[in-house]
């Protein structure tokens, strides 16, 4: 059963502008779900609806198997979130920011030290949050999102402002949280990081879902566009030999590009090239990483 499910969400901010066109999300329990789309596609609007930050216009939302509209307070007790920019008190320290919410959430005081140590800003002392870097503010906001020990964590661009080392640490943190049983819904524009992190993925374009499923299913769906690239001393002759063997070829950037080939087919072409005294520098497969698949899906 999905831990979060929306059905046919429709939303508009004006009479003519429909932002969401029947968005249905299915976030499996204990998954890391990557929610991707270009700017203005409807990601943040969807997440705001899921958290009750926008009034639902049409469709349904269920979290933990409960209708959100009827069980809002009960559901949000087990949800942590970071939407868009960090929301913190600039005149308070990291610990003081957490202490305010610790009283609201009624969790133990020891939880403050736990989340600070877990996320990073544990050694900022009496420094005010307004003096933090953007990356440190981001870490503090995630610490706030974790304060109530949520079952579901919703993060909108959590790596904003982080340096490369901070991005790696964030990936390791989210992986650890997921191993501990927390379901994570994350939107991000860093496709290389999403590729390394998520188990499931949803891609939205102009308010409509273009794909939803596991990352492996997405990559398998796009296998037909894989290609085998021969980098040799004579690309034209290589293409001619491949054509003689019955393959469809393209001459691109001084290399011979063929459809995806089996190991046996590659070996056969190599033998012909060697027999024709053509030097083979490299044979490679142009793999479909998430970035290429994403661009293919959202391009007009």
DSSP single-letter state for residue 41 = S
Among 8, 1, 4, residue whose Cα is nearest residue 56: 8
Pull the structure tokens for residue 15.
Answer: 């009479």
pLDDT in the model for residue 192: 80
> Is pTM, for the whole model, over 0.85?
no
Which regions in the chain score pLDDT beneath 50? none
**Fold exhibited by the domain 223-298:** Alpha-Beta Plaits (3.30.70)
Same fold, 2-220 and 223-298: no
Task: Give the count of beta carbons closer than 10 Å to the beta carbon of residue 146.
Answer: 22
Strand partners for 83:
none
pLDDT score recorded for residue 130:
87
Query: CA 275 → CA 89, 120, 217, 254, distances in Å?
Result: 73, 60, 40, 21
> What architecture (CATH level 2) is domain 2-220?
3-Layer(aba) Sandwich (3.40)
**Where in the chain are the domains?**
2-220, 223-298
pLDDT at 225: 60
């Amino acid at each position: 059963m999905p831990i979060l499910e929306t059905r046919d969400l429709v939303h508009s901010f004006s009479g003519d502008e429909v932002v969401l066109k029947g968005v249905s999300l299915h976030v499996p329990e204990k998954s890391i779900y990557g929610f991707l789309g270009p700017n203005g596609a409807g990601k943040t609007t969807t997440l705001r609806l899921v958290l009750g930050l926008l009034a639902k216009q049409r469709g349904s939302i269920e979290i933990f198997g409960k209708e959100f509209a009827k069980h809002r307070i009960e559901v949000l007790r087990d949800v942590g979130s970071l939407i868009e920019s960090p929301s913190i008190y600039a005149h308070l320290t990291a610990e003081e920011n957490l202490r305010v919410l610790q009283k609201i959430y009624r969790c133990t005081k020891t939880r403050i030290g736990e989340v600070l140590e877990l996320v990073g800003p544990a050694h900022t002392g009496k420094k005010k949050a307004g003096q933090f870097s953007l990356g440190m503010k981001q870490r503090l906001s995630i610490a706030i999102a974790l304060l109530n020990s949520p079952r579901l964590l919703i993060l909108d661009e959590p790596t904003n402002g982080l340096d490369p080392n901070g991005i790696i640490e964030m990936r390791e943190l989210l992986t650890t949280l997921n191993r501990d049983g927390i379901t994570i819904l994350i939107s991000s524009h860093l496709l290389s990081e999403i590729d390394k992190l998520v188990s499931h993925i949803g891609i939205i374009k102009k308010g409509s879902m273009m794909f939803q499923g596991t990352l492996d299913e997405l990559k398998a769906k796009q296998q037909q566009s894989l290609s085998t690239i021969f980098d040799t001393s004579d690309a034209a002759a290589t293409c001619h030999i491949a054509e003689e063997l019955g393959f469809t070829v393209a001459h691109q950037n001084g290399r011979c590009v063929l459809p995806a080939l089996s190991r046996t087919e590659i070996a056969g072409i190599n033998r012909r090239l060697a027999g024709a005294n053509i030097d083979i520098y490299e044979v490679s497969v142009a793999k479909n990483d998430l970035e290429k698949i994403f661009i293919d899906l959202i391009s007009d």
